[in-house]
Amino acid sequence: MVKKLSTLMLAAMSLLAVSCGGKNVQDKDMNKLSFDETQAYAMTAIACHEARGDQSSLAEAIAEGLDVGLSVEQIKEALSQLYAYTGFPRSLNALGTLQRVMQQRGIDDVSAPVVWPKGYDALRQGTEVQTRLTGVPFNYDFCTAEDYYLKAHLFGDIFARDILTYADRELVTVSALSGLEGVMPQLTSHVRGARNMGVSEDQLSGIVSSLRNHHLEAEALRCEAAIAGANGDEVAPFSPSAWPLGEPNTAYARYFTGNSYLAVLDKSGLCNVSFEPGCRNNWHVHHGAVQVLICVSGRGWYQEWGKPAVELKPGVTIAVPEGVKHWHGAAADSWMQHLTYHTDVRPGNSTEWLEAVDDSTYFSVNK
């Protein structure tokens, strides 16, 4: 009888039917989200805050997830999986936050330990899952140790656990990587993998919407850039600096070509303005005040009427003379942030907004 059961288990594993966590993969579609829309929305915030290491916001996101029906087991599985993407310190801190939320709510941990079938071949299982994710067989010959960890551990030990589907896990991964700087190749690759694992275009867009609605604008922009990259479009991702992105600059949007963001830093009028690639403001004139610009991140341009453009790079400071027609904005291939404030302010000071900077003028300085 034992031999017969073992044979059946091995045969089932060859069909990706691994029993773990008390359920059987055959009983669910692993290439479909098990979350409904509101649960996916909450899980996106949980995964991104785990990656960012923001425990206070993570606690709020976990509470939101529990309120919309995510189980402790699902949240725990997501936070555990993410150690492979964000490291043990963030994963363990996040699991500690989950424990505190559970204690505050009087929730007992009833999850069962995982028992792997006898003879389970993690390397074989993981190779099949990885091939499905990437769309083609993948061997990282440059570092065979890393290749083994990816196949046997990440995709064999972790992804095989059917507490979350493959689609669930890719939603979690894309959401988390959107919260990290400097991992755009992996984020873009996982956007493609999410599609291969059954995450729809609407569900990918839902990640962006959730990040934005949770006030994670920079992370939403990063995810949008990865989706564009997976579609073959080159979009420069937002590169955060020590200065906040702020909120969409809707009040002045009519004076800008492209999207900008405004963060008011103090009551004196000091602001940080962030320009997406290609964004610039219209020609304009400051009357009764001198505007000061201090570039703090990225690359852009400042130009006075009739003069050559000046490149803006971190540390470049411009004092815009009163009454001089000018414009400023990001380079075509880079975000740009600058601080701005006014000095030598006289009563009745104002800003006169003029025509947009046409493409021929803008792209002539971006050669």
Which residue has better confidence, 244 or 357? 357
d(CA 158, CA 164): 10
Asked whether 246 and 233 are in contact (CB, 8 A), the reply is no
Residue 238: DSSP 8-state: P
Residue 71: DSSP 8-state: -
Cross-strand pairs, 117:
none
Is the pLDDT reported for residue 21 higher than 60? no
Q: What's residue 2's pLDDT?
A: 37
Which residue has better confidence, 10 or 237? 237
Q: Which pLDDT band holds residue 161 (cuts at 50, 70, 90)?
A: confident
Cross-strand pairs, 336:
275, 298
Give the chain's mean pLDDT: 88
Closest by CA position to 350, among listed 263, 260, 288:
288
Q: What's residue 93's pLDDT?
A: 97
Mean pLDDT of 297-308: 95
Asked whether 352 and 302 are in contact (CB, 8 A), the reply is no
Mean pLDDT of 161-189: 93
Is the pLDDT reported for residue 275 higher than 90? yes
Is the pLDDT reported for residue 188 higher than 90? yes
Q: Which pLDDT band holds residue 6 (cuts at 50, 70, 90)?
A: very low
Is the pLDDT reported for residue 14 higher than 60? no
Q: Which pLDDT band holds residue 95 (cuts at 50, 70, 90)?
A: very high
Mean pLDDT of 297-322: 95
Mean pLDDT of 177-194: 92
Q: Dig out the tokens for 25 from the structure.
A: 């993969």
Query: Of the given ranges (94-98, 115-119, 213-217), which has the lowest mean pLDDT?
Result: 115-119
For the stretch 31-60, pLDDT in tens is: 899 999 999 999 999 999 999 999 999 999
Domains of the chain: residue spans and CATH: 2-230 (1.20.1290.10), 247-364 (2.60.120.10)
E strands in 226-366: 247-248, 256-257, 260-264, 271-275, 280-281, 284-287, 290-298, 300-304, 310-312, 317-320, 326-330, 336-343, 350-353
Q: What's residue 256's pLDDT?
A: 97
Which residue has better confidence, 10 or 284? 284
For the stretch 210-266, pLDDT in tens is: 999 999 988 998 999 999 989 988 776 676 677 888 889 999 999 999 999 999 998
Q: Which pLDDT band holds residue 160 (cuts at 50, 70, 90)?
A: confident
Q: What's residue 155's pLDDT?
A: 87
